[in-house]
Chains A and B, each alone.
Chain A
Amino acid sequence: NAGVTQTPKFQVLKTGQSMTLQCAQDMNHNSMYWYRQDPGMGLRLIYYSASEGTTDKGEVPNGYNVSRLNKREFSLRLESAAPSQTSVYFCASTNLDRPGTDTQYFGPGTRLTVL
């Protein structure tokens, strides 16, 4: 059981470039989430997918798009990267179907620098 995996681990982009961050989970969870972590800001929710086929905006969605490819995979795309998107990005998953067991499990993160 790998849990939640993210690729790549590190990435450097130039302003205006695009890229997709990949996330996959093997725990048969139905819900997946993308957060960004910035110094002194904690983690903030970018987008989430409560179930396969649905996606919704979180607190800081501007500049991002997401795709819930299937139950296992949830990708985050930056169409035109900006220096303000320099951050560490975390993917997480949980099972909404089981009340009281909806602990989120986090991936190891992707450290993104936009020059």
Chain B
Amino acid sequence: GNSVTQMEGPVTLSEEAFLTINCTYTATGYPSLFWYVQYPGEGLQLLLKATKADDKGSNKGFEATYRKETTSFHLEKGSVQVSDSAVYFCALRGGYSTLTFGKGTMLLVSP
């Protein structure tokens, strides 16, 4: 079956530091891949997505590239802000658009 593995947190960074959150997946074929973000007390919001191999998704300074060779979709940001503190979920699309999520990675950014 489908599965997503992402690095455990929390990830603690200072403002303006470089961020990488690793995500790898197991699936049949080449499913669409997503990063969702959850701010404290809120639901999930789509951060970015990629629908095919070598696609790069980007939004709000975050980027992730769909690497089929390594079955990975790592999230990066060049300079994090305090307002980026949240939980980040990697996910892949299955049949009928169902989502399989990783366990989430909490990011804490200090001033």
Contacts and interface: CB of A to CB of B under 8 A. Distances in A.
Interface of A: 4, 31, 33, 35, 40-45, 48, 50, 56, 58, 90, 92, 94, 96, 100, 102-109
B17 interface: no
Interface of B: 4, 32, 34, 36, 42-46, 49, 51, 89, 93, 96-104
Given A102-B32, A102-B93, 19 more contacts: A4-B43, A33-B99, A35-B101, A43-B44, A43-B101, A45-B98, A45-B99, A45-B100, A48-B98, A50-B97, A90-B43, A102-B97, A103-B46, A103-B49, A105-B46, A106-B44, A106-B45, A107-B43, A108-B42
A35 to B, nearest CB: 8
A30 to B, nearest CB: 10
A88 to B, nearest CB: 9
B101 A42 contact: yes
A18 to B, nearest CB: 25
Contacts of A105: 46
A69 to B, nearest CB: 19
Contacts of B51: 100
A56 B102 contact: no
